Structure 1
């Protein structure tokens, strides 16, 4: 017995297909909004007023700052323009994933005489270290370091 393909069948296929597409889009949109970490600054206008001066002061330090994760240890190295290690005050350090704040942590750094180290627990993937330092002369230094945990 052969069944005929009617308009009702086509309507069912169209409603089902578009229903799946709309449902998936709603789930993705909800997850995007629910995991967004938020703003970097409460008032971007105020931050913009001193941005160039802050940037110039930070560049005048002539520091070479790097961050690395190896074997569960986060290492931050600060070198001056002569290649000598610099000891600065760590005012804020936040280690977290780029897409959410649930796993954010604050590493406790220890000065080793040549760099800063901190034990960290993290899953594989892409992470950000948002670091704020104060130089011995009082200059603020801010940078975000993208890191990959393997």
Structure 2
């Protein structure tokens, strides 16, 4: 003769529900704190100091960008073997003043201002070397009253 013992299924109690809620919200809170810590450690600065003032200047920035684009300058940036930045240009007149501000994309290194000297036809070389790493160059080429501004990545 076989005896079957009938087991009664355990019931889902309030303690079980409390444990599910605590564990669930604990996971959500842990993920939020982790993401917030990662985000704040990787962002190195402020995009604009005052968004209201930036919004008031926006149309002026667009006008300057259109004038700059109309000059027809073309600039490509690369790094020389000695660490100095080399700009290959097109339509930039000889005798122009060319400068750039090198910014580290995540703000881990301080901004560095670079001055350039003409090193050949349509070529400019920085007077100082730039440390290794990724940089973003904000370039200004000024010829008399005309100003061309551009931004180029330097891998």
For 1:60, the equivalent position in structure 2 comes to: 70
SS at match of 2:111: coil
Contact kept, 8 Å, 1:107 with 1:119, in 2: the verdict is no
SS at match of 2:61: helix
TM-superposed CA distance for 1:106, in Å, is: 0.7
For 2:4, the equivalent position in structure 1 comes to: none
Aligned residues: 137
SS at match of 2:47: coil
Distance 1:58 1:93 in 2: 18
Structure 1: which 5+ runs fail to align?
Answer: none
Larger Rg: 2
Please give the root-mean-square deviation of Cα atoms over the aligned residues, in Å: 3.1
The answer to whether the aligner puts 1:140 opposite 2:147 as a matched pair is: yes
For 2:90, the equivalent position in structure 1 comes to: 79
| 1:63-96, Cα deviation, whole Å (9 max, x unpaired) | 111112354332222220xxx7645324541221
TM-superposed CA distance for 1:129, in Å, is: 1.7
| 1:14-51, Cα deviation, whole Å (9 max, x unpaired) | 42343133222123224424525212474223322323
Task: After superposing the two structures, state which structure 1 stretch, 137-146 or 103-112, moved more.
Answer: 103-112
TM-score by length of 2: 0.65
Contact kept, 8 Å, 2:79 with 2:154, in 1: the verdict is yes
TM-score by length of 1: 0.67
Distance 2:38 2:16 in 1: 33
Contact kept, 8 Å, 1:78 with 1:86, in 2: the verdict is no
TM-superposed CA distance for 1:104, in Å, is: 3.1
